[in-house]
Structure 1
């Protein structure tokens, strides 16, 4: 339209008076295109399959394939190897964005990305050539670390793999293996009993179809598409060329690769789940109109205040997430070992796993009876509840944080 022969932008008129949230508040500067692409994948590929994956406990293979086809099959690897080349900040942006649409697919992707990164840093060139090209095409890697004997202390493993010919004979019971029975390969954490290192931790790569590997069903409260069930490895022969790194001494990679990536990625998931739940609650509050009052649910001040409180809480976690990711990228650029940066990652994971419980409860309350019915909000609530009990549990992390604050060794 025109006023006094001056053209006025209709879109601007339509949004006049509406506060526009600055992009720097919701995305690290320079990552806007990456975030937009992640949301496009989330809306078009992850969300349409999320409910089916949850209700049928169906592994999100198609969603993971679409993520790989978009160029994110090995996101944290250098660009020359097919990665995104945007560091851990780019990884956090992707994970937080994907999780707003399908938590199961995102968690499988986070674990796969951690496994692929561990393959890259601990593996040799021959192993890179053997595994990474297939990962870029959609093959899935997984981590088999936690054991029932040590619970959420997943860094402590009691299984062994002694020498057997030109390889190792692996016997291990594993619990909560994300993508169990579905991944194409697994990095199995075990010990080499004859290692000359005090640290006997060893990483072996097994194929999903090897004899002696059994996967058991997974039936859980949330993240139902993850296939995070137990696995047993019975007399599984692993050739020496499938050992990552040395015979023992792999705790270095645990502290400098796996833990930082795993904790950062899962914290991004919890943050994204909280935002996804709140988005669904906001959408429902705007659309639901009470016939007796003529007001939408969002028309009530008490509802708007709950939405505001929830968003402030989410943004506190998101701010920690991106500041932590950027700090880790800076540490890598400076040659600082990431084990020196664990304190903020502990805080991040603890906070994100706490707030997702709070926010998903708020989202359900805002949604009323509709939120209690099977659906998006209810699913996000169940999915997010895993965070605080996923190892290291929030209780363990708070103990490590507390010990660090009083200047005593955190790990014993």
Structure 2
């Protein structure tokens, strides 16, 4: 490769686009960044400071055509696959992590509806999704903590439907989504597992949501929900009466882990971008030098960017691999190992990089503001189930050829 192809603008090195975006997704990424700058960023601070659900930002995402990004085009979706989903999540998160996480959970819920639901359910719910309706996942329960795939709640038969009684601990978009995929069990199931998914519409009698106050992601409304004697008609059951671990492994886990890993990567890049911008602009009057002119600062920026790019490279390679698996008919449940590694790494590096961004930003970074918000938002990653500790155990078990899940 000649120097003329890599060095432009009076010696400034240009970063190749293929390093920051999968080939073929450049236009999608550009649209996401434009939306982030014009719509998401300006509301992010208000959402954080007031613990305000970012409904307007999520509506703008839907208006831009990203309300059903993974669905086939014949259903009105974007048909961008998991790679497009990862590009959008990583890009949005550089501007507003709360909006991104709500959108990631929404996308996972919509894909679950599409994958596990009937054609009638698709036709009933998807058109409204395309018009901006929001879906959510109600999985984790206080009794089992971050083992969100193990639920103790039950929904026995009641007439031509089910009576749902469940306590849910962290439900992104709690009280704000228009409908939820609620994970529960069917006590009389003849399936190998009793896990059952019910579509519950917001506002039904017996549903209570509680306030969410947290260190970061304060706009998520990820509070507890209680479902007390909520009647769910049989036509709102997704799939069979039990046996839904298949969709947990092949739809929900891949999208949830991929989307959240993209979010942590985007938060890390957003924090670093803010630190770089501040270091270039801040000039010390006594020396006449910018903060960025100090070698120690540049080295910290370099180390942080290398960490972000390592996570981004894993992100896009994993997403492209999952899309190939789908095209080849390989169940995504057979591809979980790289997604576990990806989520663990992204959730680790966002802690490191946001700390570096804060250090580079100095006292200004410690004040309530953009960098400080990125640090608080990113800290959720390692705690969000499956926690990094659980994922490392699964990875380790796989490496020594023992069953990863018991």
Please indicate, yes or no, whether the TM-score normalized by the shorter chain is above 0.5: yes
Q: Which residue of 1 aligns with 2:3?
A: none
1:76 positional shift: 0.6
Query: CA separation in 2, counterparts of 1:134 and 1:246?
Result: 24
Q: Which residue of 2 aligns with 1:98?
A: 92
Q: Pick the aligned partner of 1:219 from 213, 237, 248.
A: 213
Query: CA separation in 1, counterparts of 2:70 and 2:79?
Result: 7
Q: Which residue of 1 aligns with 2:176?
A: 182
SS in 1 for 2:167: strand
Q: Which residue of 2 aligns with 1:9?
A: none
Q: Pick the aligned partner of 1:142 from 115, 119, 136.
A: 136
SS in 1 for 2:40: helix
1:356 positional shift: 0.1
Confirm whether residue 204 of structure 1 aligns to residue 204 of structure 2.
no
Alignment root-mean-square deviation, CA: 1.0
1:79 positional shift: 1.2
Structure 1, unmatched stretches of 5+, are: 1-11
Q: Which residue of 2 aligns with 1:324?
A: 318
Confirm whether residue 367 of structure 1 aligns to residue 357 of structure 2.
no
1:244 positional shift: 0.3
Confirm whether residue 380 of structure 1 aligns to residue 384 of structure 2.
no
Q: Pick the aligned partner of 1:358 from 352, 356, 367.
A: 352
Change (3 A) 1:13 1:177: closer
Q: Pick the aligned partner of 2:398 from 383, 387, 404.
A: 404
Q: Pick the aligned partner of 1:234 from 225, 228, 243.
A: 228
Q: Deviations over 1:300-319 (max 9, x none)?
A: 01000000000000000000
Query: CA separation in 1, counterparts of 2:201 and 2:328?
Result: 36
Q: Map of 1:303-314 to 2, 5 A cutoff?
A: 303-314=297-308
Query: CA separation in 2, counterparts of 1:398 and 1:44?
Result: 38
1:81 positional shift: 1.1
Q: Pick the aligned partner of 2:247 from 245, 253, 261.
A: 253
Query: CA separation in 2, counterparts of 1:407 and 1:207?
Result: 43
1:28 positional shift: 0.3
Q: Deviations over 1:196-247 (max 9, x none)?
A: 1120000001111000000000000000000000000000000000000000
1:15 positional shift: 2.1
Query: CA separation in 2, counterparts of 1:13 and 1:78?
Result: 41
Q: Which residue of 2 aligns with 1:244?
A: 238
Contact 2:99 2:219 (C-alpha < 8 Å) held by counterparts: yes
Number of aligned positions between the proteins: 401
Q: Which residue of 1 aligns with 2:342?
A: 348
Query: CA separation in 2, counterparts of 1:138 and 1:64?
Result: 8
Q: Which residue of 2 aligns with 1:269?
A: 263
Q: Pick the aligned partner of 1:158 from 146, 152, 157.
A: 152
1:14 positional shift: 8.7
Q: Which residue of 1 aligns with 2:125?
A: 131
Query: CA separation in 1, counterparts of 2:299 and 2:73?
Result: 44
Misfit runs of 4+, over 3 Å: none
Q: Which residue of 2 aligns with 1:288?
A: 282
Q: Which residue of 2 aligns with 1:7?
A: none
Query: CA separation in 2, counterparts of 1:13 and 1:91?
Result: 32
Q: Map of 1:75-86 to 2, 5 A cutoff?
A: 75-86=69-80
Confirm whether residue 36 of structure 1 aligns to residue 34 of structure 2.
no
SS in 2 for 1:284: helix
Q: Which residue of 2 aligns with 1:301?
A: 295
